[in-house]
């Protein structure tokens, strides 16, 4: 098996024999749900590969490749009449620099759109009866010229837009002086980005554009564009598309069983690997009506590739390519009330309850000084650091941290805020080692009493003594290199406030399993 970690080109993946978890059976549903669709998912959740699959399926120039690419997939057995019937144009806003001055950003956006039109011309050379004129100073003029050429043919255009909200995400994470004003200039009034989406909306009104599929992380930009682009349908919360990106447990289990059958002499079993992956990577749910929880696809491929190449799970279970998500938690923690929200999320799976997900908000709202818990929790949901966990008896949304990798991000951010001194943090490995190898709790207790309680007790969260102690141990002992850290673990003595369970793949090391109870138990 060849795992396509880091690959998002569907054609390369299929032609070169990489493993592919079939999602082509959703194509027929996508065709019926609407012509202009928006699909939101967290970073590195397979959105670009999904767009590439649609590109290869609908591209009229790739009709002779249909059998090779799709023949053994579900859609190849029952293709829709629209396969290979469209001209395809693809925009990727992550390729447009977002940190320069407004004039440079606008120039970069014009250049990117013109490059996309040029690639469109080259790809369909000989199939467009009229020439397409490139206007180097006005990419929207080039876009209209391409549409005019398409209208002279029996086919229509399918536009794919990847990372449409890249500008907003950059503004959120950077928070540099002037970043919001640059964003405002692009979106408000007759800003270029708003004008681009107005042009897309107009093109779908009989100017040659038939379908649009847009991916992104959050609806921030849509909240700012208002009437600029108000015709698309959101499908990301629909149960039918819960698993459009991501892996189910049954799919992961089948792959692990096949790898185990091929891995003679490996130091792992399929059952052990599944237990680790379930704890660290599973838990995402994007529709209240969906029963299936999903595995993060990028992290799963990272894990599976390590199993195949090294015959053991990766040492670090958080892929460094997802380290950027730490910045999002830092951003939330810095907002008024944001740190308290992170604490509530770590306190238990039933602690975050909001009336409804906020699905339309602008960048000014996000950067405002005061925001309620519902707003911040919704933002964390779109970032993939909270996920849906059901409805209360009063029809409110419950949200929870999806898995242990996401929980580690919370702990890291709070530990950095509560122990900002790197020298103090450098003492932690020795304290954890003393407990995990020698069952010596005294050094850690001394550190908590002398260094940590003063910080925690000053936080305005109405701490109870039990919660204060639990958070001290949680934030200081969290170590996914060896342990799975579990809160409220059921044991013969009741429920342990905190348990450090040795990872199944790390049981060969000299590390004790630890359960902590409060003094009243």
From CA 1, how far away is CA 212, in angstroms rounded? 34
- N- to C-terminal Cα separation, the chain: 50
Looking at the predicted structure, is the pLDDT value of residue 75 above 90?
yes
From CA 509, how far away is CA 436, in angstroms rounded? 11
For residues 99 and 508, the model is more confident at 508
Provide the 8-state DSSP code for 394.
Answer: T
Mean pLDDT of 42-67: 96
State both tokens at 517: 């109870």
Looking at the predicted structure, is the pLDDT value of residue 180 above 50?
yes
Q: For the chain, what is the radius of gyration of the CA atoms?
A: 25
> Helix %, strand %, coil % for the chain, to 5?
50, 15, 35
pLDDT band at 310 (very low <50, low <70, confident <90, very high): confident
Looking at the predicted structure, is the pLDDT value of residue 19 above 70?
yes
Contact 477, 453 (CB under 8 A): no
Mean pLDDT of 444-462: 80
- The pLDDT value given to residue 237: 94
From CA 444, how far away is CA 428, in angstroms rounded? 8
From CA 124, how far away is CA 368, in angstroms rounded? 47
Looking at the predicted structure, is the pLDDT value of residue 36 above 90?
yes
Mean pLDDT of 298-307: 93
pLDDT band at 321 (very low <50, low <70, confident <90, very high): low
Give me the helices (H) in 192-350, please.
192-203, 220-225, 249-262, 270-281, 297-310, 325-334, 338-347
State both tokens at 270: 């399929």
Mean pLDDT of 34-44: 94
Question: Checking DSSP bridges between strand 36-40 and strand 233-234, what pairing results, if any?
Answer: parallel
Top-confidence range, 209-218, 470-479, 480-489:
209-218
All residues at 6 or more sequence positions from 78 whose CB lies less than 8 Å from its CB, including other chains? 28
* Distances from the Cα of 289 to the Cα of 26, 42, 286, 356, 440, angstroms: 17, 19, 9, 15, 47
- The pLDDT value given to residue 367: 64
As a whole number, the mean pLDDT across the chain is 88
All residues at 6 or more sequence positions from 113 whose CB lies less than 8 Å from its CB, including other chains? 91, 139, 140, 142, 143, 196
pLDDT band at 170 (very low <50, low <70, confident <90, very high): confident
Mean pLDDT of 286-291: 93
Looking at the predicted structure, is the pLDDT value of residue 21 above 50?
yes
Contact 229, 221 (CB under 8 A): no
Percent of the chain with pLDDT over 70: 90
Least confident window among 173-182, 224-233, 366-375, 404-413: 173-182
- The pLDDT value given to residue 352: 93
Please identify, in words, the CATH class of the domain defined by 17-241. alpha beta
- The pLDDT value given to residue 226: 64
Mean pLDDT of 244-273: 88
Mean pLDDT of 204-213: 94
From CA 95, how far away is CA 108, in angstroms rounded? 9
Contact 491, 498 (CB under 8 A): no
pLDDT band at 493 (very low <50, low <70, confident <90, very high): low
pLDDT band at 449 (very low <50, low <70, confident <90, very high): confident
| Chain segment 110-161, per-residue pLDDT in tens | 999 999 999 999 999 989 999 999 999 999 999 999 999 999 999 999 999 9
- The pLDDT value given to residue 247: 97
Domain ranges of the chain: 17-241, 248-258+272-284+293-320, 323-418
């Amino acid at each position: 098996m060849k795992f396509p970690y880091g690959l998002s080109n569907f054609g390369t993946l299929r032609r070169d024999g990489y493993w592919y978890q079939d999602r082509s059976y959703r194509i027929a549903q996508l065709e019926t749900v609407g012509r202009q669709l928006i699909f939101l998912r967290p970073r590195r959740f397979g959105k670009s590969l999904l767009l590439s699959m649609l590109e290869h399926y609908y591209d009229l120039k790739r009709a002779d490749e249909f059998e090779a690419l799709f023949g053994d997939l579900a859609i190849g057995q029952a293709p829709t009449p629209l396969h290979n019937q469209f001209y395809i144009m693809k925009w990727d806003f992550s390729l447009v620099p977002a940190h320069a001055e407004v004039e440079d950003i606008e120039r970069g956006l014009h250049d990117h759109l013109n490059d996309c039109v040029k690639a469109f011309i080259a790809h369909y050379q000989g199939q467009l009866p009229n020439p397409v004129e490139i206007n180097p100073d006005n990419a929207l003029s080039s876009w209209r010229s391409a549409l005019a050429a398409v209208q002279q043919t029996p086919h229509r255009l399918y536009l794919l837009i990847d990372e449409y909200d890249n500008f907003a995400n950059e503004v959120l994470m950077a928070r540099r002086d002037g970043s919001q004003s640059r964003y405002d200039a692009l979106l408000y009034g007759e800003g270029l980005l708003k004008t681009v989406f107005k042009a897309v909306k107009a093109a779908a009104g009989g100017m040659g554009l038939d379908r649009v599929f847009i991916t992104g992380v959050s609806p921030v930009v849509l909240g700012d564009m208002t009437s600029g682009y108000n015709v698309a349908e959101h499908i990301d919360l629909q149960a039918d598309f819960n698993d459009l990106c991501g892996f189910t447990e049954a799919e992961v289990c089948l792959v692990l069983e096949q790898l185990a059958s091929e891995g003679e002499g490996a130091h792992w079993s399929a059952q052990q690997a599944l237990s680790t992956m379930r704890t660290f990577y599973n838990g995402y749910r994007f529709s209240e009506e969906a029963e299936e929880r999903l595995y993060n696809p990028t992290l799963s491929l990272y894990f599976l590739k390590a199993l195949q190449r090294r015959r053991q799970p990766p040492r670090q279970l958080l892929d460094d390519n997802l380290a950027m998500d730490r910045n999002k938690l830092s951003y939330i923690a810095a907002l008024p009330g944001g740190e308290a929200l992170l604490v509530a999320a770590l306190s238990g799976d039933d602690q975050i309850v909001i009336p409804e997900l906020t699905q339309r908000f602008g960048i000014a709202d996000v950067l405002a000084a005061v925001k309620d818990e519902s707003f911040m929790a919704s933002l964390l949901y779109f970032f993939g650091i909270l996920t849906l966990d059901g409805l209360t008896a009063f029809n409110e949304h419950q949200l929870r941290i999806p898995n242990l990798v996401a929980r580690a991000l919370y702990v890291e951010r709070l530990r950095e805020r509560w122990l900002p001194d790197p020298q103090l943090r450098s003492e932690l490995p020795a304290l954890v080692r003393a407990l995990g190898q020698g069952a010596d709790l005294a050094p850690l207790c001394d550190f908590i009493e002398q260094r940590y309680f003063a910080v925690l007790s000053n936080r305005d969260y109405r701490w109870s003594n039990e919660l204060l102690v639990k958070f001290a141990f949680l934030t200081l002992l969290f170590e996914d290199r060896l342990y799975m850290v579990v809160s409220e673990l059921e044991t013969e003595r009741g429920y342990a406030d905190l348990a450090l369970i040795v990872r199944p793949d790390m049981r060969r090391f000299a590390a004790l399993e630890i359960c902590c109870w409060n003094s009243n138990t």
